[in-house]
Amino acid sequence: MAEVIDGGVTTPQGFKAAGVHSGVKYRSLDLGLLYSDVPATACVGYTSNAVKAAPVQVMMKENSPKLQAVVVNSGNANALTGCRGIEDAIAMKNAVATGLGIDPKMVGVMSTGLIGRFMDMHKIKYGISKATLSLESSREADDLFAESMMTTDTTKKECAVRVRLTDGTLVYIGAISKGSGMIEPHMRVLHGTTLSLVTTDATLSTNFREKWQNILDDSINMVSVDGDQSTNDTCILLANGRSSSKCADDDPEFIAALQFVMNNIAHSIAKDGEGASKLIQVQVIGAECKDDARKAVKTIINSPLVKSAIFGSDPNYGRIMMALGNSGCKFNLDNVRLTIKGGNVEVPILDSGAPVFQDERSVEVVRMAMDNKEVTIIVDLAVGDWSATGWGCDLTYDYVRINAEYAT
């Protein structure tokens, strides 16, 4: 079983990181670098948005099975920048490769920030030169790297665990992510913004990509802040094998630990949604198939009416059922059960297609449950054995303010 520890992306053996100020942002750190002292097996998920940023296009074209470094900049997404954007993304890879003395194909690149702005490569190259000389393995390095990735984020999103594999080897997993807005990832392996980096000293093969897709589908891809998928979404898993473990592709302990880490990151992203005051967790159980469970979760989380009701602690459960009905999943309304949880209050709302309560006192109990920082909606479709969980946030006045002023 995985044990949560105080750590980050440099906790696994052989990884170093740096975060520096290049000048793209006025004062904040805006360029980060992650490095493995040996080439690492790379499993990467990319945005499914047809409008892909230059870094995503470059990485997908190369599709390198091994990476040794990843450079990340914030403040500029390098999206909708045409041929020049592609050249700039390649130049970032080359600058890192030169600074570290490695093959450019071993360098990944990610960007986040404003769309439609050309990169100031003089500043970016200056930042890369600083970062290559600042690499360290420490909690301070983790913090600086995390800060360099942030845009409208208000908190760091990181998690680290250690787990003993079935062969007895102790391995570590560390993860960092950024993301607050423009978030409904649908990242596919081989195919605001969420950028995530996961490191481990376990040994994995490139065949792990299929399992990585499954883990993404049950974690990051089940998050939605505003229903808008970014042009830049990228999630990179680096496994450098420095623990000297046997191949952990099929190790149940490793897979469970990695799923735990990614669920933790997903939860953190939703909780820090732009302008959010509440975390919404939706659990759908009793679905006929996994796809139905996921569709129902995402439709409920994405509903502006549901999100607004949660924000105002308004016990209008009809909005939840409206969203469920629009999801396309199979159910019989006469058998559906709906429950809302918040804090220590758990209230059955709907059973067998009819309300459990109707008096005003009961309505106030529902309002009490919704008037918490974390609200859980549980829907039992009662047609099968499949389930899914997803995370989102409420829709507040601040979300509108932040996104009305983002480019100005």
DSSP letter for each residue of 254-277: HHHHHHHHHHHHHHHHHHT-TT-S
Alpha carbon distance 91, 33 (integer Å): 15
| Cα 302–chain centre separation | 16
356 neighbors 263 (Cβ within 8 angstroms): no
Determine contact, residues 180/217, Cβ cutoff 8 Å: no
DSSP E strands in 336-385: the ranges are 337-342, 345-351, 354-355, 374-380
Left (φ > 0), alpha (ψ -120 to 50) or beta: where does 379 sit? beta
CB atoms within 10 A of CB 129: 16
Q: Is residue 358 exposed (0-12), middle (13-18) or buried (19+ Cβ within 10 Å)?
A: exposed
Catalytic residues: 193
Distances (CA, A) of 127 to 112, 133, 204: 15, 10, 32
